[in-house]
A = this chain, B = another copy of it.
Amino acid sequence: MFKLASEPIVSTTLNQEGAGGFVTFEGKVRNQAEGRPVNRLEYEAYVELAESEGRKLVQEAIEKFSLISAEVIHRIGVLELGETAVLIQVASPHRREAFAGCEWIIDQLKVRVPIWKKEHFADGDSVWVVPSEENKV
């Protein structure tokens, strides 16, 4: 499951038959970016392609790591400090695959899914984040 959400994300507990290892990643809005005070973030998505590419990568993760389930929710819109920007929940029979699969999903999401982040700094400035060129698929 891959979903874009414009309302706050509420994390729920998965309970999958046969699963023993559950790994959850939550990315939250920090109060600074490279030392510069941040007031809020803004996420924008190319919704149609973000959803199809997101579903694709979740399916790839399930196959690659033999996961029982994997669910991703990514916020769009304006987020205040401490809010959850992305929630990834993965279940698998054993813990190794759950850790590896969950980390792979967030790594892939960051380089493949058309979502953009604007940092609104405390000094009133705001900037679209452009990752350095090494961060490629």
Contacts and interface: CB of A to CB of B under 8 A. Distances in A.
Interface in A11-40: 11, 13, 15, 17-32
A21 B27 CA distance: 5
B20 A23 contact: no
B18 A30 contact: yes
- Number of this chain's copies in the assembly equals 2
A103 interface: yes
A20 B29 CA distance: 6
Given A95-B106, A99-B102, A102-B99, A25 B21 contact: yes
A28 B15 contact: yes
Interface of A: 11, 13, 15, 17-32, 82, 93, 95, 98-99, 102-103, 106
29 contacts: A11-B13, A13-B26, A15-B82, A17-B31, A18-B30, A18-B31, A18-B32, A19-B30, A20-B27, A20-B28, A20-B29, A20-B30, A21-B25, A21-B26, A21-B27, A21-B28, A22-B24, A22-B28, A23-B23, A23-B25, A23-B26, A24-B24, A24-B25, A25-B98, A25-B99, A27-B95, A30-B93, A95-B106, A99-B99
